[in-house]
Amino acid sequence: MEYQSHVDALVRHLEITPFLSDLRDVGADVDLDTWAHVVAQAGRMAEELVAPLDPVLDRVGARVVDGRVQTAPGHREAWTRFADGGWLGLPLPEALGGMGLPLVLQGACEELLNRASPAFAMLTTPGRTAAELLVESAPGELADEWVPRLLSGEWGATICISEPDAGSDVGRIRTRAVKDENDEWRVTGEKCWISYGDHDLTARIGHFMLARSGREQGVRGLSLFLVPDGDGTGARNGVFVRRIEEKLGLHGSPTCVLGFEGARASLIGQEGRGLQTLFHMMLRMRLSCGPQGIGVASGAYQTALRYAQERRQGGAPDAPPVSIAEHADVQRMLLRMAGRVETARGLALACAAALDLAGRAADAEARAGWLSLAQFLLPVVKDGSARLAFDVASGALQVLGGAGYTREWPVEQRLRDARVFAVFEGTSGIQAIDMLHRRLWREEGAGLARFLVLAFAELRDDEPSCELAGALDLLERTAADLSAMRGAARDAESGASAFLDMCGMAACGWIALRVVHGAGDDVVGARMKAAARFYLAELPARIKAQAGLAVLGADRLDGIAALLE
């Protein structure tokens, strides 16, 4: 199986994932033998069912036919087989049609699916996270109607936030919800950038939508609604496809502009608290961005590694050419890719475990502590994995040279697919501002402090620990400097992206050290350790550069006036 080395690495990461004992203590199903079996099955499903479809999705894409979106040939059949396998409900309770397994295992399986086809995988996340939201916040009868069908794949879901004049600035949403003469909610407005906003893969689609239900401005006037596209038998509910976007990549995932004209809607949660209610779904969708980026990066890296071993070029002129994997610069590129992939993988799994514990822990104080840690790690995982996918795909193309720029090899598609990952679910800049304003200032660095305690506790008397220790010290000092700059917000904001990078480097360094100390000495462990050691060897120099940028101040932005004239 081509995915075998990927499966092996995931299983080893699961064995050494942080917080497993904490998950056991709160009653989570932590059976590593079962987990290994599930991951192996996910690898086979991804490689045999989904991966062969991906080139078709990219080449054919989706189109609008008679007002509805028509997907590529073979897409519906693959979706049905995938859903019938029970893959949509891994973390949901068995009583609702799920498997009751921890989020960390969900993340491992998602990574393999995204390696096979991120366009295909895009439909799986909103349905699962919508089901979790309904269990958490919806009236019982609404949850009973929708959750089993979402988990079976019979029905689908979207998250509808963005509008033409309201993207990340959700307080400017203009879509309105009003009650009709029968005291039913009706929604009217336009929504854009809706992944799988319409398709022919499920019988019904539920749009989880923020709309303005009161007179208050900003986010306080927003409520959350479930807006079905129809009744499941063909009758429409005032939901119209305006168009699907022509995109750089992810051609098999239709990105829609939707119109809502008096569409019937059901209120979820309290009126006026839509953003707070949607928070549960948004956290888990953001978490899924980790395995999305890592899965794509893993596939690109494996292609580059194989090519470097097979492609022969250079060496002594009087001898046969050597494989390009023998050249120092190619070795550097391959080790950097491997180091970033392995550490990002471990960090995403650790974040999933922390978020799971935030919902499972026995008392409110423990849940708050785990949530604080998860919310510190989430922007790092989301943005780091998003940029990892594009960077590794670009690096793989560099290893392949001119061949990588052609469609004969899959890395050019992965480069196109991955570019949007750092844009949706909150851009890189939004994640950086969130880290600065919310996590460092508003929460006074509580999540960062918890992380530092965990990471410092891993240190030993060896060289890899020294490399990480210096990075942790520098992160702590830089965080203190930025905290002191709270009265000069522009100065701090100009360095927010660099600070986010520092957090990611240090967090991945923590994972790298855990790999060095715990991955084992067999073939799988040796590969992981080699990648982790390279990551730690470069960490001091790389994080030092970002520390300088984080506190450089806003004076360097003064030249923007000249550009804007």
What is residue 166's DSSP assignment? B
**Neighbouring residues of 21: CB distance < 8 A, sequence distance ≥ 6:** none
Nearest to 102 by CA among 39, 175, 193: 39
DSSP string of 84-110, one letter each residue? HTTGGGTTS-GGGTS----HHHHHHHH
Helices and strands in the chain, H and E counts: 20, 9
Catalytic residue of the set 47, 145, 342, 425: 425
3-state class (DSSP) for residue 2: coil
HSE of 402, CA atoms in CB hemisphere, 13 A: 0
- Biggest CA-to-CA distance, the chain: 89
CB 499 within 8 A of CB 482: yes
Nearest to 87 by CA among 58, 119, 49: 49
Please state whether 74 falls in left (phi above 0), alpha (psi between -120 and 50) or beta: left
Phi, psi of 534, rounded to the nearest 5 degrees: -60, -45
Quick check: is 425 catalytic? yes
CB 422 within 8 A of CB 464: no
Q: Which helix (H) or strand (E) holds 489?
A: helix 489-493
- The rounded distance, in Å, linking the Cα atoms of 423 and 201 is 26
Nearest to 278 by CA among 136, 93, 100: 136
Nearest-Å Rg of the Cα atoms of the chain is: 24
Please state whether 190 falls in left (phi above 0), alpha (psi between -120 and 50) or beta: beta
Give catalytic residues, as residue numbers: 425
